[in-house]
């Protein structure tokens, strides 16, 4: 049996990250991809460069901006999955003021409601090469919540005792999303292997408040929210609904554990991802940047690859922490890619 030892510094990092709910933070980055210490202006300038490069490649009838350094992403938890072009940390000069203003605003692609009526995706996870369990992500289709139509999304977490203690996970999460406004309506968390409801959060966009209630101890609290909010689970499905083009950017507000995060996603490049069947499939690398109180999240980062076809299923992810990498790979649900 492989043993894992943590020094004093590593244990201190665990304690600090657990206090900020590392698991939910990890989901934000794992299902919504990566985070680097850059400004929004840097990100949007990089997006502009990617668009120009993709357009030039199209005019020259060349493949559009694939990762040349990592043509095939394989099942290797410790592998550096991509080496993106260096991000500049300064603002490039743009002569035309109007052009500069357009560049420095997120340019979201059109939305298409392309989600399946039902979908079940099973991901297996490894930490430092050791199996730690699986995540089951489901789209249960449309239902009725408090008299209104809503998408129902579900995440079941099946992990080892070690992982549960380290990351303080719940066993099951359910989110409801408005299919027209694309905002989260309710978030539920379950314990006891997903059989017991622990807490509910209802989002009211008329009062701009999120109302939390712990079903077990009856405690309640509320937090002010903006006009549009998504949680991690609904946000991961929402990002799959865009008709992405290289260099596109999307900005959304994410709610997790009483904290509102600002998410800026950049469709960075394409790569070929190896599936468990050993076949390869073309994928988008969607690089997100997550901010809290205007500052980027630095503790952890990730890389996620979305299928370029169909409903853009997440095929593979590497969650990077100060204590090592967690590899998450799609094992069931890729038959209809």
Mean pLDDT of 281-304: 82
Mean pLDDT of 157-167: 75
pLDDT of residue 26: 56
Mean pLDDT of 196-215: 97
Mean pLDDT of 48-53: 91
Range ranked top by mean pLDDT from 6-15, 158-167, 280-289: 280-289
Mind listing the pLDDT tens digit for each residue in 99-114? 545 556 777 788 877 7
Q: Is the pLDDT of residue 167 over 70?
A: no
Mean pLDDT of 47-71: 68
Whose structure tokens read 């090469």?
A: 129
pLDDT of residue 93: 40
CA 318 to chain centre: 11
Q: What pTM did the predictor assign?
A: 0.80
83 in helix, strand or coil?
coil
Q: Is the pLDDT of residue 66 over 70?
A: no
pLDDT of residue 68: 43
Q: What percent of the chain has pLDDT over 70?
A: 73
Q: Which residues contact 254 (CB under 8 A, 6 or more apart)?
A: 28, 32, 229, 230, 231, 232, 235, 260, 261, 262, 263, 290
Mean pLDDT of 214-218: 96
Contact 190, 198 (CB under 8 A): yes
Q: Is the pLDDT of residue 19 over 90?
A: no
The mean of the pLDDT values for the chain is 79
pLDDT of residue 293: 85
pLDDT of residue 90: 33
Rounded CA gap, 81 and 70, in Å?
A: 7
Q: Is the pLDDT of residue 98 over 70?
A: no
Q: Is the pLDDT of residue 20 over 70?
A: no
pLDDT of residue 208: 97
**CB-neighbour burial class of residue 43 (10 A; exposed 0-12, middle 13-18, buried 19+):** buried
pLDDT of residue 23: 54
- Dihedral angle over CA of 211, 221, 300, 269, nearest 10: 10
Top-confidence residue, 33 or 210: 210
Q: Using pLDDT thresholds of 50, 70 and 90, give the confidence band for residue 77.
A: very low
Q: Is the pLDDT of residue 119 over 70?
A: yes
Mind listing the pLDDT tens digit for each residue in 224-271? 999 999 999 999 999 999 999 999 999 999 998 888 999 988 999 999
Whole-angstrom CA distances from 157 to 191, 298, 334 are 10, 25, 19
pLDDT of residue 105: 73
Pick the closest to residue 85 from 49, 31, 33, 55 (CA basis): 49
pLDDT of residue 149: 96
């Amino acid at each position: 049996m492989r043993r894992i030892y943590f020094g004093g510094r590593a244990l201190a990092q665990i304690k600090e990250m657990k206090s900020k709910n590392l698991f939910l933070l990890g989901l934000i980055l794992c299902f919504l991809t990566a985070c680097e210490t850059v400004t929004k202006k840097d990100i949007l300038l990089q997006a502009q460069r990617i668009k120009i490069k993709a357009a030039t490649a199209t005019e020259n009838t060349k493949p559009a901006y694939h990762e040349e350094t990592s043509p095939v992403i394989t099942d290797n938890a410790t592998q550096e999955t991509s080496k993106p072009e260096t991000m500049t940390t300064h603002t490039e000069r743009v002569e035309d003021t109007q052009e500069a203003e357009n560049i420095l605003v997120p340019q979201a692609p059109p939305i298409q409601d392309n989600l399946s009526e039902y979908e079940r995706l099973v991901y297996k996870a490894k930490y430092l090469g050791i199996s730690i369990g699986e995540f089951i992500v489901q789209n249960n289709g449309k239902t009725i919540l408090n008299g209104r139509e809503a998408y129902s999304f579900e995440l079941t977490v099946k992990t080892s005792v070690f992982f549960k203690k380290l990351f303080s996970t719940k066993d099951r999460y359910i989110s409801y999303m408005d299919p027209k406004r694309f905002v989260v309506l309710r978030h539920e968390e379950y314990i006891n292997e997903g059989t017991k409801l622990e807490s509910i959060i209802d989002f009211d966009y008329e009062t701009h408040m999120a109302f939390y209630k712990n079903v077990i101890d009856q405690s309640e609290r509320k937090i002010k929210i903006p006009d549009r909010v998504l949680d991690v689970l609904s946000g991961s499905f929402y990002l799959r609904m865009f008709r992405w083009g290289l260099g596109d950017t999307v900005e959304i507000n994410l709610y997790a554990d009483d904290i509102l995060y600002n998410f800026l996603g950049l469709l960075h490049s394409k790569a070929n991802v190896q599936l468990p069947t050993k076949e390869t499939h073309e994928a988008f690398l969607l690089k997100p940047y997550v901010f809290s109180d205007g500052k980027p999240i630095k503790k952890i980062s990730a890389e996620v690859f979305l299928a370029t076809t169909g409903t853009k299923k997440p095929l593979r992810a590497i969650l990077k922490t100060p204590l090592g990498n967690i590899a998450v790979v799609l094992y069931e649900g890729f038959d209809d890619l």
